[in-house]
Each structure stands twice: as C-alpha cells, then as structure tokens.
Amino acid sequence: MHLTLQYTGFLSDDCDDTIVGLSKLSLDDVEPEITVLGIHDTSNRVATARDYVLRRCNQTDAILFDECYPDALLKNCHKIGEGVYGEVFLWRARDGRARVMKIVPIAGHTKVNGEDQKDYHEIISEIVIAMELSALRAPIADIERHFDEGNDTDALDLHAIGNATDVFNQVLAVRCVYGSYPSRLLDLWDLYDECKGSENDNPAILPVDQQYIVLELANAGQDLESYQFNNAEQAHALFLQVAFGLAVGEEAYQFEHRDLHWGNVLIAPTEQKFATFVLRGRRHCTPRCGVAATIIDYSLSRVSLPASAPARCAALYNDLADDDGLFDAVGDYQFEVYRLMKSKLGNDWKNFEPYTNILWLHYTVDKMITALRYKRTNTKIHKHYIDKLKGIKNRILDYKSATDFVLTDNEY
C-alpha cells in the first residue's frame, strides 16, 4: 500500500498566462491589459498587473497601511535590515509567531533610495517566485513524520511529490497596502538610524497615498555574513543544505537565484539531526549539525512555470541586460559573479542556465573558507572540514548545475 502525499503550489489552482504578459520581461506599458486564459476559468477576462497582484494577496483592493498594521499590533517590533527596495522589520503577530515584514514602496513617483519605484508588473516575479518556492516545503513535515514513525520508503509515493525542500523562505502572507507609513514603524526606523546608521531614505518622505507591497515571511535567523559557527563542520552542513535546496529548485521550476550573496543565506539554530529533500522523486538527507539554512530574496531570480498551453512553460525573470551598474561594481567576488553570469547567459536573462547556481555555490564555499567566523579553529574536526570545503571549491566549477553536483559528486 502506497501513501500518496499531494501538495501543490498556489498556481495549480489558478494557473494561467497572466504572469507572462504582466511581467517586466514583455511589457512597455505602465499599466498593461491582457487577456487571461485560465485552466479552470475558460472565459476571457481583462486584468491589469495591479489586479493580478491583488489576487495573489487575496484582496480586491489595497488596504490602508495603518488599518492593516495598527500601532498596537506593532508593539513587539523592531527594524532588522534594509535594502534599496525598502525596509525589513521583525514583529510578533497576533498568532504569537515572530515574522519578518519586508516593506516595498511600489508604483509611486517619488524616488526611493535613489532609485525609481518598481511598478506592479515589475514586482510580480518576486511575489510569484517567493510563493512557489515556499510551497515546496509543504510535504517535508509529513515525510519526516512518516520516517520518524518507523515506516519505510516503499510505503511513501515520493514520485508523486517529485521535488520538495524547506530551504526556501516560508511566505506567510503578501499584502497590498497604501497610505501614510505607520508612526510606530517610523519611530523604529529612527531608532535603527541612531543605533546603526541607515543608508536609506527615511520612509517619512513618501506621500500619504503611497502604495506598498508587504511580504510577511517566517523568521529564519541571521545571515551568513554575521553568523558565528562553532566550526567548519557546521559550515559544511549548511553548504550542503543550500546546494540541495538549489537542486530541488532547479528540478521543480528551472530555478536560478542569481543573487545568492552571503546576505541572502540565513541560519537558524536547530536540534533537528537531518535536513530532508525530495529530488526527482527520491529522498535525500543531509546532516544539520545544529544549523538550518534558508535561502531568501528572489528579486533577481528566474523560474519556469506551467502555462495554459500543453507542454508549455513561461519564463519569469528580471531582465538585467541594461543594468550596467550591477556589472560595473568591484571589490568583492560577489560582483565578479554577476559578470560571470552575464557572460554565461550571453546577457539573455530569459534562458535557463543552472550553471549560475554553481557560480553562487562557488562564491559561498569561498566565503566559508576565507571570511566566515568560527569559534573553534584549532580543532581537528574544524581543519578536516576546512579541507573538505577546499576540495569542493576546487571541484564545483566542473559541474553543470546544483543538481549535477549533489547527485554525482562522490566526495562532498
């Protein structure tokens, strides 16, 4: 008897060509219109990029910012980070769970941190990719429970699942809001600026009718740059989790991260002994060694998603062909990786080229050898795993993809 676990991403219930026509890659209009051909809804209907984003948020219209996030709700909150896109806060929601709140101003005319705001058709890719990758985690808990209870592999139909991982950040909610920035968040922004110094514009400069996308994400810990490991055994365990996660993404959605610098890998302590992955219908386990990896931020990422036509996929990506600033930066291997990606892709960012994931894995293992902080560097186990990481660094560029590496490398 086979136990079949069926899990689907959000697109399977409402899969259509909307994301193709509304995404940045194929549009010149600010607010384009498109005929939607859905699998479950065969009638033609007109949608805008804003309509599509609202549908992904389970909203019919934008909600007032301070009604969605009143000051009382943000009592247990503080700013934890920032980027050109906007601000990141950590808060405890009504359910008692700590959540990360990424706030992105959108569709406005005021420059934010020196950059034009993204329009709705430019934010679709990040929202869709985040939700689809998050959905890959759905089967993992049941699979682990199945084996913890002593059941064998034969009783579980992993081929029906295909690919699964909990390495990608869990999306808890996506909301579209508008209005004045909540006063509580402005106070927390000022506090962060006083204590750490902010490179961003104060959100108070934004108009009272400003629109925002808010992504609520699970709190996945510290980034790789700031985390201090016990020794290199933990770093090696983390590397394998990231590599297997990328491999699952490749197989499930032809995924390339394209920006996996050490600020986009998060680490949380865990007592779980093994990380579980399903890759091409087979279960793989890697040691946790006390650390759980999470991959975040898909603003430059690329996926292929099923379209309504049979045997057809839609590429969803950020076209970086004219982003000269990204490729001109110097000073860290990270910036060289951008140029190596551009060369490998021939500056055609629509194509699936999983070697870009190999480039970022090479970057990651290089950081683990040369730049990470370790508590116990004089132990035999630390030196042993530093040697293993060096071996991976020397070999990994010979592989074609993360999948190729994790399935065929015999020495990691």
The arithmetic mean of pLDDT across residues 301-309, rounded, is 82
φ, ψ at 336 (rounded to 5°): -70, -35
User: For position 308, what pLDDT does the model report?
Assistant: 59
Mean pLDDT score, 51-67 = 95
Q: How far is CA 216 from CA 77, 79, 88, 104, 137, in A?
A: 13, 14, 10, 12, 16
Q: How far apart are CA 389 and CA 335, in angstroms?
A: 22
Which of 117-126, 148-157, 286-295, 359-368 is least confident?
148-157
Active-site residues, by number, are 259
Whether 259 shows a pLDDT value over 70: the answer reads yes
Please give the domain boundaries of the chain with CATH numbers for all domains. 1-219 (3.30.200.20), 222-412 (1.10.510.10)
358's enclosing H/E stretch is helix 355-370
Radius of gyration of the chain (CA): 21
CB 66 within 8 A of CB 182: yes
Residue 325, pLDDT score? 87
pLDDT value at 300 more than 80: yes
pLDDT at residue number 249: 98
For the record, the structure tokens of 238 come out as 């983390």
What confidence score (pLDDT) does residue 128 get? 94
For residue range 366-391, list pLDDT tens digits in order: 999 999 999 999 999 999 999 999 99
- Closest to 174 (Cα-Cα) out of 138, 130, 216: 216
**CB contact at 8 A, 24 and 177:** no
DSSP string, 25-66: GG--SSS--EEE--SS--S-EEE-HHHHHHHHTT-SS-EEHH
- Predicted pLDDT of residue 400: 98
Longest dimension (CA), the chain: 67
In the predicted model, is pLDDT for residue 411 greater than 50?
yes
Look at residue 325 and give its three-state secondary structure.
helix
> Residue range 202-209: average pLDDT?
97
pLDDT band at residue 310 under the 50/70/90 scheme? low
Instruction: Report how far apart, in Å, the C-alpha atoms of 370 and of each of 18, 302, 358 are.
Output: 44, 29, 18
Pairing of strands 373-374, 228-229: parallel
Instruction: Provide mean pLDDT across the span 392-400.
Output: 98
Helix (H, G, I), strand (E, B) or coil at 237: helix
